[in-house]
Amino acid sequence: MWLQIKQKILQLRTATGVEVVFGTNETPIFHTYTLTLNKNILVKKSKVSNIKSFPELKTISRNIPAAVSFSGKGVLIKKVQGQVEEEGALALVLPQANPSEFYIKVTHLDSYSVVAVARKSLINQSISQIEDQGIQVLHLSLGINYLENLIPYFKEQTVETICYTIHIRNNSLSDIETKDFQKTFAELNEYLVGQQYLQSFDIMAYAAAAHLLAHDLESMPDIPNEKVQANREEFRYGSLFKAAAFSTLAFVFIVLLINFFVYNYYFIANKKFAEQYQFTQAELASQSEKKQSLEKKEQFLQQAGWLQKSKTSFFADRFASFLPEGIWLTGLQFYPKKNQFSDSESIQLFKKDTIELSGMCNDPYQINLLINNIKTMKEIAQVNMTDYSFKKEEETGNFLLEIVTR
């Protein structure tokens, strides 16, 4: 039971693969690919190709576990007949070399083995510079080791990466050829691997990320690098500590939740008695608010003059009797609204004791005659013409009068 729980805790959900390609320059070229495990399906999160310096690695997702694959001129690839073990592989490739100065990785094919050799000083320096950019390296490998698990998913018989040409037969690796990546750097072959389309730049980085997601972090790494082993141990203990802390917090939360329900039960019981008293107080306050609201509305109506008796028919009849020939009335509006509105309660929204009279005429002189007729009424205090427009094509004018009553 504990082993299953521990496996779930240490299972990676996101990983970054980094391909380090050594060329003629001192600084290698980097290709990265970040994968997320979603319902046992590998989903691309991000990728960055053709990174030309270590500081540029900061552009990829930091604090995500990474697997690094080394290729190029810094990694010697040799084919050796038969099935060779790693202990004696260096003597077959570099007979005079000191085994303590080199990392070795052997990939077994049908009739021969592919031996990848790189100096520890070069690999260790590169790992340190990669980690200086905030990337935690949990696994590393040389050559084509990461590709072995992806071979069955390629539909093509020949696969081109940046540094290798892979030949596939019967869903297994049959042959490998190394090449100068500087000559093929512009080639962008595309391959379908599972549900992902990968270019030549992406294959090794994708394979490294997929390998790390499927890798058991409690097992020994393929290449015994001290820094990588320390990172793996730190990651395991960190993951277990986080899980333990989360479990403790969950337990404390459950205890607090039980206490809350007990408290809530007695709180509700006490609240029911308090509500009977508060209900009466709330009703009194509500009635007081309604009364104040009603008084404000009455005050507003009183200030606006809407409580006075309506004289609509009276003024309509008088204005109609004053109409000169050639004038037609089109509108009569009492208490028109103001042009500018305000949220202040002290400012009235409508023009008090005001009538707007609109109409049409053939001769502007008739408007003056109408204004003089209206002024003869004792109920009228002031008459102003606020708008006038003449339509030449129709030979008619539209006017608007503002009439202030006493």
Amino acid 119: pLDDT: 92
Q: Is the pLDDT of residue 307 over 90?
A: no
pLDDT in tens, 327-367: 989 998 888 887 655 555 555 677 888 899 999 998 888 88
Q: Is the pLDDT of residue 32 over 70?
A: yes
pLDDT in tens, 89-100: 888 888 888 988
Amino acid 295: pLDDT: 84
Question: Averaging pLDDT over each range in 83-87, 160-164, 248-252, which range is the top one?
Answer: 248-252
Determine which of 130-144, 218-232, 299-313, 378-392 has the lowest per-residue pLDDT on average: 299-313
pLDDT in tens, 241-283: 888 888 899 999 999 999 999 999 888 888 888 888 888 888 8
Amino acid 57: pLDDT: 86
Amino acid 283: pLDDT: 84
Mean pLDDT of the chain: 84
Q: What is the mean pLDDT of residues 110-118?
A: 87
Amino acid 340: pLDDT: 58
What is the rounded distance in angstroms from the CA atom of residue 223 to the CA atom of residue 119? 12
CA distances from 18 to 12, 15, 117, 213, 398 (A): 16, 10, 18, 14, 81
Percentage of the chain with pLDDT > 90?
A: 20
At residue 9 the predicted structure's pLDDT band, cuts being 50, 70 and 90, is: confident
What is the rounded distance in angstroms from the CA atom of residue 153 to the CA atom of residue 171? 8
At residue 181 the predicted structure's pLDDT band, cuts being 50, 70 and 90, is: low
At residue 305 the predicted structure's pLDDT band, cuts being 50, 70 and 90, is: low
Q: Is the pLDDT of residue 133 over 90?
A: no
